[in-house]
Amino acid sequence: QFDNLEKHTQWGIDILEKYIKFVKERTEIELSYAKQLRNLSKKYQPKKNSKEEEEYKYTSCRAFLSTLNEMNDYAGQHEVISENMTAQITVDLARYVQELKQERKSNFHDGRKAQQHIETCWKQLESSKRRFERDCKEADRAQQYFEKMDADINVTKADVEKARQQAQIRHQMAEDSKADYSSILQKFNQEQHEYYHTHIPSIFQKIQEMEERRIVRIGESMKTYAEVDRQVIPIIGKCLDGIVKAAEAIDQKNDSQLVIEAYKSGFEPPGDIEFEDYTQPMKRTVSDNSLSNSRGDGKPELKFGGKSKGKLWPFIKKNKLMSLLTSPSPKQQKEPLSHRFNEFMISKPKIHCFRSLKRGGATPEDFSNLPPEQRRKKLQQKVDELNKEMQKEADQRDAITKMKDVYLKNPQMGDPASLDHKLTEVSQNIDKLRLEAQKFEAWLAEVEGRLPVRGEQTRRQSGMYDGQGGPTGNSCAQDRESPDGSYTEERSQENEVKVLAADFDDEFDDEEPLPAIGTCKALYTFEGQNEGTISVLEGEILYVIEEDKGDGWTRIRRNEDEEGYVPTSYVEVYLDKNAKGAKTYI
């Protein structure tokens, strides 16, 4: 059964190699799965210094981040599975297969050798047997020939003697062949006994043990296969527990509070809008949140007026403005004139600040375009950044100073004068940063209420038009504003009326209707939502009275009473070359 055993053992090795291939493909799948998990985790990780990183202050986002990190660890455990299976199964079994093939080859070589030996002995036995048979037949024929010659009276004595001798020789040869055959037969029987009772059973036993070891080894490998998976289950369980723990840590109330803190504007709800009676010409009503009333009760309120109808007051003719100031309405007959001036000054839009309204314009330096609470946070953030930069510069200055002292004590190490330029430059940087920090701290103090708070209406307009109440601002009413942007009453009413009247004379001398310098056609419909703008319809033809100064806004007029600003990109301008102030475009 050598052939059958050889086929069976080869099949066993093939099964082992098939199992090795199976485990190897499993390790590749584990590695691929771990790689895909890591890539997935990396794909959804927040990018550094990006807006996504800010989102992870919310507990739900932090839980998601924890899930990504746990998935990364989860992927690591699948890599461990792959490594352990490769080391403990694939490599080990591959080495064992080589040893098994070598042992199988050796066993079957011994079996073939024993088989060939017994076959050789059998051939020797057959050969001696045929020779013995041949010699016996020849001896028998020689004996018969001798007897025939001896019985024949005509044959000479010499011939008879010769025949007798020949018969004896043949008989001796037969005896020798018999002895040789007997010896070889005995030897063959012994060899055959050893072959069937010793050599072959021993070889078969070795083959059987080899096969049993192979079977045991593949079983142990299957156990190892399961144990490798089982070993990482506790760690995978911890990863899953971490995900559950992160999910349980989600606090919806905390997230809601963060949203409230992030988008809290600081504005108070607006007061009721007063009814304005237009039945009497030039009649003005004083609302509860006007400057005069807000000064009386000390509680300024935001005044949200609707869209201006007709023309804006900066374009009212001077005589109409003065008549309005000097002729009080029935409700204001006893109101001081200074209050009426102040009311007009508060509601006056700052036309020069329209330059900041262009689409896509830069954010004001003091963040006045943001609601109070958002502005405070931005200013605080800016102050912290400036303080950090100042600390860095101060540390650098201290380091340079120490180095200069070392150079002074040990001139051979360097020239102290070479550090003076750098020291001066660092000191200048610190001074610049300090001034910048003081500026932002002043704005921050104003927002936080450490300085007198600006009037609500003025603050609204400052945020809309990027106006600033500092000494460098060129606001129309700046000469009459206190440092916090409100209007002071420290002077007597007479002085105040004189100053204000003089300022009004100066400001409105050039408020006569401007001449048209060309025409324009509206390319798109524009809704003038802000004060000082004007609404236009697509295809409408209007007059241009002030061209774009580089800020993206063009001043136009519809008729004598309606004029304002529109985005330059919304209109197609046709300038009159002969008009005053018109530019020639090449």
3-state secondary structure 513-577: CCCCCEEEEECCCECCCCCCECCECCCCEEEEEECCCCCCEEEEECCCCCEEEEEHHHEEEEECC
Concatenate the DSSP letters of all residues of 13-29 into one string. Answer: HHHHHHHHHHHHHHHHH
For tokens 């042992």, the residue is: 103
Sheet strand arrangement including 563-567: 563-567, 553-557, 541-546, 518-522, 571-575
> Which amino acid appears at position 216 of this protein?
V
What is the pTM for the complete model shown?
Answer: 0.47
Low pLDDT (below 70) residues in the chain: 52, 280-362, 450-513, 577-586
* Dihedral over Cα of 162, 163, 166, 167: its sign: negative
pLDDT the model gives residue 235: 92
pLDDT given at position 418: 83
Task: Quick: pLDDT tens for 290-312.
Answer: 444 444 444 434 333 333 333 34
Three-state SS annotation for 85-145: HHHHHHHHHHHHHHHHHHHHHHHHHHHHHHHHHHHHHHHHHHHHHHHHHHHHHHHHHHHHH
48: helix, strand or coil: coil
Q: Encode pLDDT of 451-493 as tens digits.
A: 434 444 333 333 433 433 333 333 333 343 333 433 333 344 4
Residue recorded with tokens 């002085």: 495
CA distance 404 to 392: 18
Question: Is 307 strand, coil or helix?
Answer: coil
Q: What is the pLDDT of residue 171?
A: 87
pLDDT of residue 199: 87
Q: How far apart are CA 400 and CA 384, in angstroms?
A: 24
Angle between helices 420-448 and 372-409 (to 10 degrees): 160
Q: How far apart are CA 360 and CA 377, in angstroms?
A: 22
Residue 313 contacts by C-beta under 8 Å, 6 or more apart in sequence?
Answer: 321, 344, 347, 348
* Residue-level pLDDT at 509: 45
- 521 CB neighbour count, 10 Å cutoff: 14
The whole-number pLDDT of residue 579 equals 57
**pLDDT value at position 82?**
94
Assigned token pair, 279? 């039945």
Tokens read off for 578 = 């002969």
Residue with tokens 């040893």: 99
Q: What's the Cα-to-Cα distance from 225 to each of 12, 34, 163, 231, rounded to whole Å?
A: 19, 18, 88, 10
What pLDDT, on the 0 to 100 scale, is given for residue 320? 41
Neighbours of 111 (CB within 10 A): 20
- Say what the pLDDT of residue 159 is: 83
Q: Are 393 and 433 in contact (CB under 8 A)?
A: yes
Distance from C-alpha of 313 to C-alpha of 33, rounded to nearest angstrom: 72
Nearest to 194 by CA among 107, 115, 280, 274: 115
